[in-house]
Amino acid sequence: MKKITILLAILFITLFNSGCEDELMPYGPVSSMNFWKTEADVNSALYAFGEYTFWEEMTGRGHFWYENCSDNMITGRVNANADAYKNFTMTAGTGYLYELWPRVFQLVAKTNDVLRNVPEMTDISPALKDRAIAEARFYRAYAYLWIAPWYGDTRSGGIPIITEDLTISEMDPPRPASVLENYAMILEDFRAAADGLPSFSQLPDAEYGRPYKTVAWAFAARAALYASQWDAAYLDVVIEMCDKVINLTGADKRELYPDFTKLFTRENNFCSEYIFSMLGNRISGPKFHGMGFQNGGFGLFNTWGYFQPTAELYEAYPAGDVRRDATILVPGQHIQYIGADIHWAVNPEGISSPTGMTFRKFMSIFEAADCIGTVVRPSGDDQSNELGTCIMRYADILLMKAEALIWKNGEGNATAKGLINQILKRAGLPENSTATKAELKLQRRLELAYEFMPSRHFDLVRWGDAQAIYAQPQHGYGRPASAADYADFSKWQANRIEVWQARTFDPVKNQVFPIPSNAINSSANLKQNIGY
C-alpha cells in the first residue's frame, strides 16, 4: 500500500467557503457571480463536499441516534432524545436529527452547482471536468442514500428529487410516489460516477479519501440491496455491482485484511479491506469512535459514553470468534487508554455503562500516552482524530452478494457458502457455512456491529424482523456482590439483568422515521410520513 496521507477537513471548509455562498433553505443553490471561472474554483468546490460529510450529526454521533434503535446497543447515559428514538416515541420535533435533512440537501445543492456549471466551463482541462462531474454525481447519490432508507418507503413516498436541471422556482417539488424512484436515481448517479472516477491505484497519496471507481460500485450495491426490500429484481444489481468489486485484480484488488483484531487502526485506514472512509485529522473530522466508551473517559479524556453494547450482542458471538473481544470490552479485560492500563470494571472500579460492557472496536486511536494533540484533538470536548470512519469495506461486499444470492436462489447456495466461509475463516471459525438466511443475518450482525452506515436496525426493518426482536427486553450484566469477583466475568454473566424494556415497533409506521418538522415547515409541498 502507498503511504497513508489523510485529507484535511479544514482544507475542505476553507477552500469552499472562500468561493461560494450558502444555499437557500431547504434545497436551492445561490452561486457567486465571480465563481466557476478557473480550475482553482472547481477544485475548491470538490474539496467542499467533505465539509458536509464531517458534520457532527453525520460522522459524529449522528448515525447512532438511529442505530441505537437496534438490539446491539442501548443508551449509555441519561438522554431523553436518544431514548425517544430507542423507544420509537420520537416525533417530528425530537432533537438532534432536525438538522440532518437540510444539511443533506445542502450537500445535494453543492453537487448540483458543480453539475450545472462545470460542463459549460471552457478554461479547465477535460480531465478535471470529467472528474468534477463524476465526484458530484457520486456525492449526490451518497447524500440521497444517507436519508432514503430512513425516511422513504412505498407508502408515504420517496425523498424530493432535486437535480441540476431545476430552476429556483422548482426547488420545492413534491415527494415521488415511491422511494424506488430515489434508488433508481441513486443507481444512475453511482454508475455514471464510476465511469468518470479514477481507479484506486491511480490516486496519488494526497488524494486518498476521495471517491474512486470501486467506491461507486460498492455503494451502488448497497443502494440496490436496500431497494430490494421493495423490489426483488434489484438483487441482480447487487450481484452485478459486488462482482465488479470482487473481480478487481492487481493494485486495485480488494480482500479481507487477515487480522480482524488489528483492522481498525490508523495504520490500516487504507489496508486491503478499505473501500471508503470518512477521513479527518485531530482538528476536524469524524468523532464517533469514543461514543461507546466510558462517559468522561476516567478523567483522562472526555469520551462520551452515549451507546453501550447489550448482552444479546455479546452472546450472539460463538466461542472462538475473534471478533467478539475485538468489538466488546467486558469486565476483567484490559485496554490501553491514553497510556493507562484500564482493567475494565476493576481498576478503576467505577464504570458508566449500564450493561457492564463497553465498545472496544474503534478505541485504538486512544491507546498511546501522547495521542492527545498528536492523533486526537487536544480538547476533550471534541473527539476528532486520525482514525478513519470506515463506512464501506470488503467484508460488506462479500455479505451483500451472499445475501442477494440466498434471497434470489434459495438457501444453501454454493457461491454464497464460499463468500460466508471467507468471513468465518477470518473470524477464526470453521469454514462450514450453510448459507441460510439465519446465518447471513447473524454474520452481518457480528461482522459489522457498531459500524457506521451498514445499520443493524435498518437490516432488521428491511428483513421484517424488527417487530418481534424489539418486543423482547435487552440485557446486560450486573456487578457481583464481592469485590474479589469483579475481575471474573463469569460472575457478572451469572447476574444477567434487564437494562431496557420491551418496545413496541409498528412495522408499518416505524419502518421510517418522521421527517423533521423544520423541513416540513420550510416547504410548501413536503408531506410528513404517515402516522407522525
Task: Give 65-126 as a 3 state SS string.
Answer: HHHCCCCCEEECCCCHHHHHHHCCCCCCCCCCHHHHHHHHHHHHHHHHHHHHHHHHCCCCCH
Alpha-carbon distance 440 to 421, whole Å?
Answer: 11
- What is residue 17's predicted lDDT score, i.e. its pLDDT? 38
Per the CB < 8 A criterion, the answer to whether 298 and 340 are in contact is: yes
Residue whose grid cell is 450529526: 57
Alpha-carbon distance 62 to 389, whole Å?
Answer: 13
Per the CB < 8 A criterion, the answer to whether 468 and 431 are in contact is: no
Neighbour-count burial of 102, counting CB atoms closer than 10 A to its CB (0-12 exposed, 13-18 middle, 19+ buried): middle
Helix (H, G, I), strand (E, B) or coil at 45: helix
Whose CA is closest to 428, among 269, 320, 292? 320
Per the CB < 8 A criterion, the answer to whether 361 and 309 are in contact is: no
Per the CB < 8 A criterion, the answer to whether 113 and 168 are in contact is: no
Q: Which cell goes with 256? A: 479481507
- What is residue 138's predicted lDDT score, i.e. its pLDDT? 98
φ, ψ (nearest 5 deg) of residue 340: -100, 145
Nearby residues of 33 by Cβ (< 8 Å), 6 or more positions away: none
Q: What is the full per-residue pLDDT of the chain (532 aa) written as tens digits?
A: 333 333 333 233 333 333 333 333 344 444 556 899 999 999 999 988 877 776 766 766 777 888 899 999 999 998 898 899 999 999 999 877 777 888 899 999 999 999 999 999 999 999 999 999 999 999 999 999 999 999 999 999 999 999 999 998 999 999 999 999 999 999 999 999 999 999 999 999 889 889 999 999 999 999 999 999 999 999 999 999 999 999 999 999 999 999 999 999 999 989 999 999 887 788 887 788 998 999 999 999 999 999 999 999 999 999 999 999 999 999 999 999 999 999 999 999 999 999 999 999 999 999 999 999 999 999 878 888 999 888 899 999 999 999 999 999 999 999 999 999 999 999 999 999 999 999 999 999 999 999 978 899 999 999 999 999 999 999 999 999 999 999 999 999 999 999 999 999 999 999 999 999 999 999 999 999 999 9
Per the CB < 8 A criterion, the answer to whether 352 and 359 are in contact is: no
- What is residue 462's predicted lDDT score, i.e. its pLDDT? 97
> How many CB atoms sit inside 10 A of residue 488's CB?
15
Alpha-carbon distance 435 to 7, whole Å?
Answer: 40
Alpha-carbon distance 406 to 27, whole Å?
Answer: 40
Per the CB < 8 A criterion, the answer to whether 457 and 71 are in contact is: no
Three-class secondary structure assignment of 306-339: CEEECHHHHHHCCCCCHHHHHHEECCCCEEEECC
**Per-domain boundaries in the chain:** 8-197+457-464+507-532
Alpha-carbon distance 520 to 143, whole Å?
Answer: 19
Q: Which cell goes with 87? A: 423507544
3-state helix, strand, coil in the chain (%, to 5): 45, 10, 45
- Domain 8-197+457-464+507-532 architecture: Alpha Horseshoe (1.25)
Alpha-carbon distance 72 to 455, whole Å?
Answer: 10
> How many CB atoms sit inside 10 A of residue 502's CB?
11
- What is residue 382's predicted lDDT score, i.e. its pLDDT? 87
Alpha-carbon distance 105 to 146, whole Å?
Answer: 11
- What is residue 32's predicted lDDT score, i.e. its pLDDT? 55
DSSP state of 347: B
- Helices 126-151 + 100-117 axis angle, to 10: 150
Per the CB < 8 A criterion, the answer to whether 237 and 220 are in contact is: yes
Paired residues of 328 in beta bridges: 359
- What is residue 108's predicted lDDT score, i.e. its pLDDT? 95
In angstroms, how far is CA 174 from the centroid of its own chain? 28
Alpha-carbon distance 185 to 190, whole Å?
Answer: 9
